[in-house]
Structure 1
Amino acid sequence: MPLSDTALLRFLNSVHPYDSLPPVELRELAPKFHLIEAPAGTQVYTLGENLDGLYLVHTGEVEVTDENGIPVSNLGPRNSFGERGLTRGGRAVTSAVTTTDSLLLLLPAADFHGLMASQPKVARFFDRRRPGSPANNTLATMRVADIMSRPPVTCPVEQTCQGAAQLMRDQNISSVCVTQHDQLKGILTTRDLTSKLLAQGWPATTPVADVMSRDPLTLSPSALGSEVLQMMMEHGIGHIPVVQGDALVGIVTQTDLTRFQAVNSGELVLTIARATSVEDMARATAEIPRLLVQLVAAGNRHEVVTRLITDIADSVTRRMLALAEKTLGPPPVPYLWLACGSQGRREQTGVTDQDNCLILADGLAPGDDAYFAQLAKIVCDGLHHCGYIYCPGDMMATNARWRQPVHIWRSYFRNWIARPDPEAQMLASVMFDLRPIGGDHSLYGDLQGETLGAARQNSIFTAHMVANSLKHQPPLGLLRGLATIRSGEHRNTLDMKHNGVVPVVDLGRIYALTGAIHSVNTRARLEAAAATGLLSPAGAQDLLDAYDLIAQTRLEHQAQQIRSGEMPDNYLAPSDLSDLERSHLRDAFVVVKTMQSAVGYGRRLLS
């Protein structure tokens, strides 16, 4: 049904960049838009055809696909599309089809070009939206799902080694996954056959269960290719099964990796994996700022950049642990080194300190802690030497409080949940971001599940955690302004960490707590909250978009500082942004503030 002039003006005034136009010019522009009713399944345009103009979604949804028919965008109200084709000769570079009954607004091509020529703010907006050369699809940024061999070749545990060898010969592969009732039990490689079966003189009829590598290291389809490379290099393996939940869905081998190159982060991980001293690792980590600049300049999304940078920290930590054990000898009991903070969430940038702890197996004998105190000192000192500075709050395994047996950790969490005083809230916030790095991962599995379950059932604790999470507020001022720091060294800047990404990190943690979500990465938590219904689809998309803009702006700021020869920090001067960039950033902060208000309202209901 047609829109009234008043409704059309109100709508355009709520959409960037039209809300930046003077009222008189917006009133002149509005009648130029044509209204198009497009039922679900309407082909708006196809790749290569001449475009009639710029499209703007008023209601409904539109799917945009590339030349291979792969979806690249799912657009909703207030999203524009078609501008790339209009600015590249007038032919569509994608295809677009409505997925629901939709109402579209079309600004004819001539009017679009006239608007771009006469309104610099509009031109800057669409120039910013048009991506330049796409980032290279390197191993570092590819998902495992795009690299792995599917389906994996399998054999049952009862199979003989001769039968498995014949299967590998016939399939021209160097490994086979061993399953029982569709569950992965192990992996058998040609190296297993030579180093175990042939070298020991065992008969060819030996069951594969006696020769295979049991409980092999695995990855999920959503893992990055860099994690494949890191795992292979650190553990000296060439085959990694890929599992989704309990299901085996693929395998990645060294042969699969020959199609990809992880030039920068891969080289650093390899150097670290082979390092024999702290100095070797420090030389590698000194390249992280240059890596950050290159990754940002290549157009990689913030979650890819931070994950690659965190992978390097993980590799350094594990190598430090190996060197410490070489110095001290085998540990007296099993242990698990965990990271929290940004490393735990896989969100490290160019500015970071270390936050870590140790979980020790129960049954620690008197005097055993001396070994782990030395191990913690070696690792934490080494991390500091490599640029991961000591935690100002002493949240490190060198502090005996954070180096305890499992039963003590269980009591920590139990007491924090039962008596949520301010310190308990702060500590619980930090410790809910724990992620195992090196050692016996089983020491944490049950503890994490128990803690999430207990926390979710305690409404008083949850309410206190929500209140604690609202202490970090987006930097919103009056009259559509941004509230900058008023005094001190960073006067007139925005703290893009504590007032930027941290409010979203805190929201993600609350959703994980209330939904018993095991992920610790913020974006993964938000996506899981949407999938489980904790967030509405629209609310989740708004919050994800806001988080992406805030986090990306922070990374770009740090990259620019590094390029300028400065030390990267989290303090961004709004004057360094264009009017449009400031407007977008403020809108993102408004979304975060709105979601905080919603969470806060829920807390009051629980109290």
Structure 2
Amino acid sequence: MPLSDHLTRFLASVHPYDSLAAGELQALARLCEAREISAGETIFTVGEAIGQLFILVEGEVDITDEAGVQISLLGPRNSFGERALLRGEAASRTAVATKATTLIALPKAQFFALMEAEPRVARFFDRGRPQRAAQNDLATMAVARLMTPEPARCAPETPIRAAAEIMHKRRISSVCVVGEDGFQGIVTLRDMNGRVIAGGADPGAPVSTIMTEAPLTLGPSALVTDVLHLMVERGIGHVPILDGGRLAGIVTQTDLTRAQAMTSADLVGRVAKAASAEDMARATAEIAKLLAQLVETGNRHEVVTRLITDIADTATRRLLALAEAELGAPPVPYLWLACGSQGRQEQTGVSDQDNCLILSDVATGADAPYFEAIARHVSDGLATCGYTYCPGYMMATNPRWRQPLRVWRSYFRGWIATPDPEAQMLASVMFDLRPIGGEESLFEGLQRETLKAASENSIFTAHMISNSLKHHPPLGLLRGLATIRSGEYRNQIDLKHNGVVPVVDLGRIYTLQGQLAPVNTRARLEAAMGAGVLSASGGADLLDAYDLIATTRLEHQAAQIRAGRAPDNYLDPSTLSDFERSHLRDAFVVVKTMQSAVGSGKGALG
């Protein structure tokens, strides 16, 4: 068998090349070169120009960083070298075969030509790019991302009246008719009006007598553009989506209108004008769909979380305004602050509330009932909007977190002077404070004073570093990822506590070391690099690692939302390709390396 045939068969078993047609695979194989590498041979080293993408067929390749620390140990079907190719830079890694190895090498020009010609391959490797450009074009989205899965359906013999009741109760404009032989047709409100009300059809007759038989349909891989064109050209408002003849979903004009109109600004506007928490809840109920849409259209993770957080901020300020309208003007100046993910502007599809109140020092005991009421009003309103109560009761409804400025100063002084475990935990949360509504000057001086005092207390900083290392990246002893061993999330990894939280903790440490003002994690890392607290190379690696982990988390949540499930932070690694698992593990290794540097006392520059 010719070599190209062997390569074709192998590539057909490797993602993303397995998505190519047979002819495309054969053409790709002819562009590749097979290389035999001896054990111990260096494939490329740090600083060397890389002109090829490598795909591992047999053997094992050790990838190490500039300091010789192992980043990954690659096995068959893993690709490598794309990092430098996508960056347009020399290699920042060294690749050495640890045993006799067979590689496929795809020249740089052909790699980029393949990326250009095959969007599926481009999307796959795009995860290695340091910057992902947003493609905010709804029209190019696959309908599978937009359609309503598992649409309302009934049997052909269902009475017309019963089908109408389904539409009325669910507030929908169509019902799909599915029989023993599969999808048969669709009944819409137009059919009901034209054929029953105006046409006089018997409401007790089978729905099949008024349905549109064999309506125009599309497959899940069609683009939203295809739906738009079909609706405009044929004058229809409903397009069933069939997958292999099976009814998979439906797209309606309402879906398109909602998707085009549903932006973060739209939801912010609706929340800002809401007359009650219940009104707000109707808008915040759409946050999950917005998140999925933002992810699908290629927005960077920090953009998505910022836009999602803006909605929570607006809800908080609107609830404060409604509370003041009900309770009267505040007796003294106050400031409402958020901490946790809202404080860092990093909210996703899974968020509880963490907040507090700082009161002016002129506040007296007589003012306490007013602020207790305003805290309850806002916290309960946020809960109505889907932001669950903090399980640790770190909310303004807790009297401890509703105090005059002088008390807050004493809190931070005490935590820094006596960094016991509780103090470390509380300081970690409260160092992420961000003003939301009220008199912001109440916080400005407190933040400056606290950062200065914390950075100058080496014992406190050491305790904070120790506390930050309690969350470990999910790395196994061998090449795999360490998954949860038992319980509801067995064989999954926690992308929050073992993924983004270790980076969040590192960012907080760099903030203390450099007395830096940013609260957002990515902004903290960039500020730490600018201040020299974090080295340029270490910072670049950590930013890339954080971007990949955070993006993977959001893509996981978006996929759950599209499937009609509630989003969570638990990912089954077996659902990822070899390439994705390898790069995710690489990202976790980078985080672990940076933790080790901070924990060993070498600091971020070591």
On whether the aligned pair clears a TM of 0.5, the verdict is yes
Say yes or no: does 1:383 pair with 2:397. no
User: Match for residue 402 of structure 1?
Assistant: 401
User: Match for residue 21 of structure 2?
Assistant: none
Say yes or no: does 1:518 pair with 2:517. yes
User: Match for residue 586 of structure 2?
Assistant: 587
User: Match for residue 433 of structure 2?
Assistant: 434
What is the DSSP-based 3-state SS (H/G/I as helix, E as strand, rest coil) of the residue aligned with 2:419?
coil
User: Match for residue 352 of structure 1?
Assistant: 351
Tell me if structure 2 keeps the 8 A contact 1:476–1:589. yes
The whole-number CA distance in structure 2 between the counterparts of 1:112 and 1:263 is 35
Deviations 1:154-193 (A, max 9, x none): xxxxxxxxxxxxxxxxxxxxxxxxxxxxxxxxxxxxxxxx
What is the DSSP-based 3-state SS (H/G/I as helix, E as strand, rest coil) of the residue aligned with 2:414?
helix
Q: How far has the Cα of 1:535 moved from its partner?
A: 1.2
User: Match for residue 136 of structure 1?
Assistant: 136
Q: How far has the Cα of 1:107 moved from its partner?
A: 2.7
Distance 1:569 1:126, change over 3 A: closer
Aligned AA (2:514): G
Distance 1:263 1:460, change over 3 A: same
Tell me if structure 2 keeps the 8 A contact 1:56–1:78. no
User: Match for residue 99 of structure 2?
Assistant: none
What is the DSSP-based 3-state SS (H/G/I as helix, E as strand, rest coil) of the residue aligned with 1:404?
strand
Deviations 1:49-93 (A, max 9, x none): xxxxx99798xxx9x9xxxxxxxx6644259xxxxxxxxxxxxxx
What is the DSSP-based 3-state SS (H/G/I as helix, E as strand, rest coil) of the residue aligned with 2:335?
strand
The whole-number CA distance in structure 1 between the counterparts of 2:551 and 2:572 is 15
Within 5 Å, give how 1:98-113 maps onto structure 2: 107=107, 109=109
Within 5 Å, give how 1:93-492 maps onto structure 2: 107=107, 109=109, 126=125, 134-136=134-136, 264-492=263-491
Q: How far has the Cα of 1:7 moved from its partner?
A: 6.0
Distance 1:23 1:490, change over 3 A: closer
Q: How far has the Cα of 1:483 moved from its partner?
A: 0.5
What is the DSSP-based 3-state SS (H/G/I as helix, E as strand, rest coil) of the residue aligned with 2:316?
helix
What is the DSSP-based 3-state SS (H/G/I as helix, E as strand, rest coil) of the residue aligned with 1:338?
strand
The whole-number CA distance in structure 1 between the counterparts of 2:369 and 2:568 is 37
Q: How far has the Cα of 1:415 moved from its partner?
A: 0.3
Give structure 2 stretches of 5+ with no counterpart: 1-36, 62-79, 94-104, 139-259
Aligned AA (1:561): Q
Tell me if structure 2 keeps the 8 A contact 1:324–1:375. yes
Say yes or no: does 1:553 pair with 2:552. yes
Q: How far has the Cα of 1:534 moved from its partner?
A: 1.0
What is the DSSP-based 3-state SS (H/G/I as helix, E as strand, rest coil) of the residue aligned with 1:21?
strand
TM-score (norm. length: structure 2): 0.63
Percent identity between matched residues is: 65
Within 5 Å, give how 1:564-583 maps onto structure 2: 564-583=563-582
Tell me if structure 1 keeps the 8 A contact 2:133–2:299. no
What is the DSSP-based 3-state SS (H/G/I as helix, E as strand, rest coil) of the residue aligned with 1:476?
coil
Aligned AA (1:371): Y
The whole-number CA distance in structure 2 between the counterparts of 1:480 and 1:302 is 27
Q: How large is the RMSD of aligned CA atoms in angstroms?
A: 3.4
Say yes or no: does 1:77 pair with 2:111. no
What is the DSSP-based 3-state SS (H/G/I as helix, E as strand, rest coil) of the residue aligned with 1:307?
helix
The whole-number CA distance in structure 1 between the counterparts of 2:394 and 2:551 is 27
Q: How far has the Cα of 1:331 moved from its partner?
A: 0.7
User: Match for residue 160 of structure 1?
Assistant: none
Q: How far has the Cα of 1:136 moved from its partner?
A: 2.7
Tell me if structure 1 keeps the 8 A contact 2:53–2:82. no
Deviations 1:555-591 (A, max 9, x none): 0000000000111000000011111100000000000
The whole-number CA distance in structure 2 between the counterparts of 1:124 and 1:298 is 12
Distance 1:18 1:334, change over 3 A: same
Distance 1:597 1:440, change over 3 A: same
The whole-number CA distance in structure 2 between the counterparts of 1:132 and 1:602 is 34
What is the DSSP-based 3-state SS (H/G/I as helix, E as strand, rest coil) of the residue aligned with 2:566?
coil
What is the DSSP-based 3-state SS (H/G/I as helix, E as strand, rest coil) of the residue aligned with 1:602?
coil
Tell me if structure 2 keeps the 8 A contact 1:517–1:528. yes
User: Match for residue 202 of structure 1?
Assistant: none
The whole-number CA distance in structure 2 between the counterparts of 1:475 and 1:586 is 8
Higher relative contact order (CA 8 A, sep 6+): 2
Q: How far has the Cα of 1:286 moved from its partner?
A: 0.3
Tell me if structure 1 keeps the 8 A contact 2:53–2:108. no
Distance 1:123 1:563, change over 3 A: closer
TM-score (norm. length: structure 1): 0.63
What is the DSSP-based 3-state SS (H/G/I as helix, E as strand, rest coil) of the residue aligned with 2:432?
coil
User: Match for residue 56 of structure 2?
Assistant: 20
User: Match for residue 177 of structure 1?
Assistant: none
Deviations 1:284-323 (A, max 9, x none): 1001001001000000000000000000000000000000
Aligned AA (2:57): L
Distance 1:579 1:362, change over 3 A: same
Distance 1:266 1:108, change over 3 A: closer
Give structure 1 stretches of 5+ with no counterpart: 27-53, 65-72, 80-104, 139-260
Aligned AA (1:326): A
Q: How far has the Cα of 1:262 moved from its partner?
A: 8.3
What is the DSSP-based 3-state SS (H/G/I as helix, E as strand, rest coil) of the residue aligned with 1:420?
coil
The whole-number CA distance in structure 1 between the counterparts of 2:126 and 2:452 is 48
User: Match for residue 9 of structure 1?
Assistant: 43
Give the count of matched residue pairs. 411
Distance 1:465 1:134, change over 3 A: closer
Distance 1:137 1:431, change over 3 A: farther
What is the DSSP-based 3-state SS (H/G/I as helix, E as strand, rest coil) of the residue aligned with 2:365?
coil
Aligned AA (1:9): I
The whole-number CA distance in structure 1 between the counterparts of 2:392 and 2:524 is 26
The whole-number CA distance in structure 2 between the counterparts of 1:111 and 1:271 is 46
User: Match for residue 210 of structure 1?
Assistant: none
Tell me if structure 2 keeps the 8 A contact 1:467–1:600. yes
Tell me if structure 2 keeps the 8 A contact 1:302–1:552. yes
Deviations 1:19-47 (A, max 9, x none): 633249x9xxxxxxxxxxxxxxxxxxxxx
Tell me if structure 1 keeps the 8 A contact 2:280–2:315. yes
The whole-number CA distance in structure 2 between the counterparts of 1:115 and 1:344 is 38
The whole-number CA distance in structure 2 between the counterparts of 1:306 and 1:333 is 33
Aligned AA (2:107): L
